[in-house]
Amino acid sequence: MSSEIIKVPDIGGSEGVEIIEVSVQSGDTIEPEDTMIVLESDKASMDVPAPKGGKVKKLLVQEGDKVSEGDDILELEIDGEEEGSDSESSGSSEEQESDEQAPAETSQQKSEDSKPKQQKKKSGSSAGGKRTVEVHVPDIGGSEGVEIIEIAVSEGDEINEEDALITLESDKASMDVPSPYSGKLVSLSVSEGDKVSEGDLIGTMEIAGEGGEEDDDASDEDDEPESRDEPEDAGDEDDDDEDDDEAESGGRQELRVPDIGGSENVEIIEVAISEGDEVSEEDALITLESDKASMDVPSPYKGKIVEVSVSEGDTVSEGDLIGYIEVAGSQPRPKKQQQSKSSDKSDQKASRQESARREQPAEEKKDEGSYGGEQAPRQSEEQQRSSASVHAGPAVRLMARELGVDLAEVTPGGPKNRILKEDVDAFVKQVMQGRKDSGSSKTQSPSESGAGIPPIPAVDFSKFGEIEEKPMGRLMKAGATNLHRSWLNVPHVTQFDEADITELESFRKSMKEEAQAQGARLTPLPFLLKAAAHALAKYPQFNVSLHPDGDRVIWKKYVHIGMAVDTPNGLMVPVIRDVDQKGLIELAKEAGDLAARAQDGKLKRDEMQGGCFTISSLGSIGGTGFTPIVNAPEVAILGVAKSQTKPVWDGGQFQPRLMMPLSLSYDHRAVNGADAARFTAYLAQLLSDIRRLVL
């Protein structure tokens, strides 16, 4: 048995033709001329038939991919054709069997016995039952030109199945490509820095066959009897499979975390399902984010979700329970490999019906007007969905962040209300068309602001001197995206003031030893946190967020304050909760703990969420003032620069006073300038006389 890559045949010279249906799946047994995929170009829809029969070992394409002539479709395991011809051309089964068992072989038998060996040599085998196979890049979510950032193996290495071969980094994730076999790496066809796509050759491996050198003769002698027995055995196996399918296809099944490359305690950043949802095989259940990658965990079954055992923010490892699914009665277990031809045809028909059903909403969506006509009912449906419940993959979310698109406003066109890149493209096109039709006279929504800004031109800096390019870290990229979005969407104004902290600093120094005895390091930050909490209580218009629709203001009844922390990996903003209910020592302890864990990269996701207000203190570094960027959806941020001793007139003479520069940036849509001046003045008053903090 050998493997062969089946490729797209001649399709009339068309390039980039979309796959609208995949009619087979891994494990299917197909016959020659059975439909593998259905293509749709601007000229026609066409079925691509299988050129030969066999078992589908690996599917290399998926619905929605675009292919051209010569692209890989699937890897097919093909039975030895020459063995079958031997069985047909030789005499009756009784004569052949007696001939093979006789001690003296005829020249015809020697010729026939040599054919299986020739077949093995043709498939790349050598003495000892070994064969050489090609290792290709598997399905990587449709990404093209993905960079190899690490080669984990070398030629001559002995590797096990699932060992990492290479590491790829795309706009979606960093991911390891595991070995599909155990064996010896014969050749390596890629190097670090290369860009690859699905189906590209990684290298070749020498893997062990079923028998050794000593068993070759015996296996050759048994080939033909086995070929004669195959129809009967296959029939028995089919009957067993059918019985197993009937007994095991339906019912309640567990959904567990699959192999995730050996990672432990990986965080769930999105739960894409809920109880009662109908899911198809390969639909995303949850999205995980580790230090290596963000990855979707697909459903191994088609059916109805009856219980979800995890939630966003949980950490899971391989084998942990995700939930339970009531498997559809007509859906066989994924491990079943044998299917009759009639069931293949019925599955193809059902797949086409499902494809047509999925395509219908997308076609209806194209007919909708731009912000008119059908818009009202669509918006009422969107209002039932929040950004937290939107189903979209990492690449789509990145694309939406870069374009400033609120995914809650995008109509999903993928399976189970999942938003695809095409949906974001269609939304942006619709918004731009609406602006064009209205002559850009209508008020822009937050998702539209910033559109049309000319990009910074690319410059070849190498012509000026030696350069080195380094990739941005994940935290740095995320921070840059958030700051860019805030700068584009928020009309910033900065209010400056100074606070006399002479008495505060004297009190702080006198309490340092007492605080250390309680396990706390008393810095100016706890005083700033406490003063900010008092100011937010007095001026609650700073403790709000604007609703994305621009028509409502969300007033918060809690006081959670974030503090900007400079870390080796980038800027992080852990959040201290209920600041108004905690004392200075408690705040000092919590601030120190969060800052230390931020430096070590050990903060949890929920420890960086829920802030109402942010403090960015550069006092320990220097500077006389700066204009911090609002951490949207908050509406204000306090910047603190280095304190300096200045002469201050007290009415009779100048006195040396320690003055702290304050910079309050705020969202002018939510906060008026007069209120900002009152806020900073009150903050300075509290810091100048800390006795007011106990009132």
Cα distance between residue 667 and residue 675, in whole Å: 12
pLDDT at 516: 93
Catalytic status, residue 391:
no
pLDDT above 70 covers a percentage of the chain that reads 73
With CA atoms as reference, report the closest residue to 248 among 321, 320, 330. Answer: 330
pLDDT at 416: 60
- Mean pLDDT across the stretch 347-357? 45
- Mean pLDDT across the stretch 361-369? 39
User: Going from the N-terminus, what domains does the chain have, and what CATH number goes with each?
Assistant: 251-327 (2.40.50.100), 490-694 (3.30.559.10)
Chain segment 489-545, per-residue pLDDT in tens: 999 999 999 999 999 999 999 999 999 999 999 999 999 999 999 999 999 999 999
pLDDT at 42: 66
pLDDT above 90 covers a percentage of the chain that reads 33
Chain segment 146-185, per-residue pLDDT in tens: 888 889 898 888 898 888 899 887 765 667 788 998 889 9
Confidence at 388, pLDDT banded by 50, 70, 90: very low
pLDDT at 505: 94
Asked if residues 503 and 570 have their Cβ atoms less than 8 Å apart, the reply is no
- Mean pLDDT across the stretch 603-626? 91
pTM given for the model: 0.41
Residues 6+ apart with CB under 8 A from 455: none
pLDDT at 555: 96
Chain segment 49-90, per-residue pLDDT in tens: 888 888 888 889 998 899 888 899 988 888 754 444 444 434
Strand order in 130-136's β-sheet? 125-126, 130-136, 201-208, 183-188, 158-159
The average confidence (pLDDT) of the chain is 77
Residue 352 token pair:
């086409």
Residues 6+ apart with CB under 8 A from 180: 58, 135, 138, 161
More confident residue, 42 or 602: 602
More confident residue, 278 or 383: 278
pLDDT at 341: 41
